[in-house]
Amino acid sequence: MNAPIDITRVVLKTERLILRPWREGDLDDFFEYARVDGVGQMAGWTPHANIEESKKILDMFIREKRTFALEYEGKVVGSLGLETYDESRYPELGLDEKRGREIGYVLSKDYWGRGLMTEAVRAVIRWLFDEVKLDFIIVGHFTRNDRSRRVIEKCGFTYVKTIPYGTQDGRTEESREYILYK
C-alpha cells in the first residue's frame, strides 16, 4: 500500500547534493531546466512553454510536500518525487500490508553523465527505508531512456515487468518497472 509522505522538514545531504523541499525562490532554476527540449520528455511531460507553467508546477511541489529539489553548488538542477504507485498494477504488494512508494526523477540536461542522480536516488532510498520505514520502492523508465535505466541498475532495483504508461502529454510509452525491497 502507498505509505503517507511529507518531506516538509526533510533535508538530505550527499557528497555533492542537498535534497530539500522546493521553495518559491527556486522558480528561475526550475524553469531553466524544465523548458529544455529532451528533459521532460524522458519523464513523460513536454518542455515548459513559459515561466507561468513552471510556477504552477512549483506551487504543486510545495503544496503536495513529496518532491525534493536537487541542489548542486547552490543551484536547483533537478527533482526527485515520491509518487503514489498504481496499486491495481501491483496487487501482490497489498496482500500483507507492505508499505511502499514509487520514485520519479528528472535532471537538468547540463548535469547529465555526472552521477548526480544516482547519488540522489541512493540518499532517498536510505531515507525511505531507514526513516520512513518503507518495505519497498518502485521505479520505472521508458524503454528508450537508457540514462534512467543505468541509475536504476546502479541503485540495485530488480526488473519486474514492462507496462504501457500514459504520459502527461497524451502519448503511451512502454515503461520498464523495477522494485527494491528493504
pLDDT in tens, 31-85: 999 998 877 767 767 888 999 999 999 999 999 999 999 999 999 999 999 999 9
The pLDDT, as a whole number, for residue 46 is 81
Query: Could you tell me the CA-to-CA distances from 176 to 2, 78, 148, 149, 164 in Å, in that order?
Result: 20, 22, 10, 9, 9
- Domain spans of the chain? 12-181
The pLDDT, as a whole number, for residue 133 is 97
CB 68 within 8 A of CB 14: no
CB 108 within 8 A of CB 78: yes
The pLDDT, as a whole number, for residue 30 is 96
Per-residue pLDDT for 127 more than 90? yes
Residue type, 133: K
136 compared with 171, residue with greater pLDDT = 136
Rounded Cα–Cα distance for residues 39 and 87 (Å): 27
The pLDDT, as a whole number, for residue 90 is 87
Per-residue pLDDT for 157 more than 80? yes
From 139, 145, 142, 146, select the one nearest 175 (Cα to Cα): 142
- Summarised one tens digit per residue, pLDDT across range 163-182 is 998 887 788 989 999 999 99
Out of 7-11, 87-91, 101-105, pick the least confident. Answer: 87-91
Task: Report the largest interatomic distance among the alpha carbons of the chain, rounded to a whole angstrom.
Answer: 45
- Summarised one tens digit per residue, pLDDT across range 3-46 is 999 999 999 999 999 999 999 999 999 999 999 887 776 776 78
Whole-model pTM: value is 0.94
The pLDDT, as a whole number, for residue 58 is 96
Which CATH code is given to the segment(s) 12-181? 3.40.630.30
Q: Which residues contact 57 (CB under 8 A, 6 or more apart)?
A: 30, 34, 48
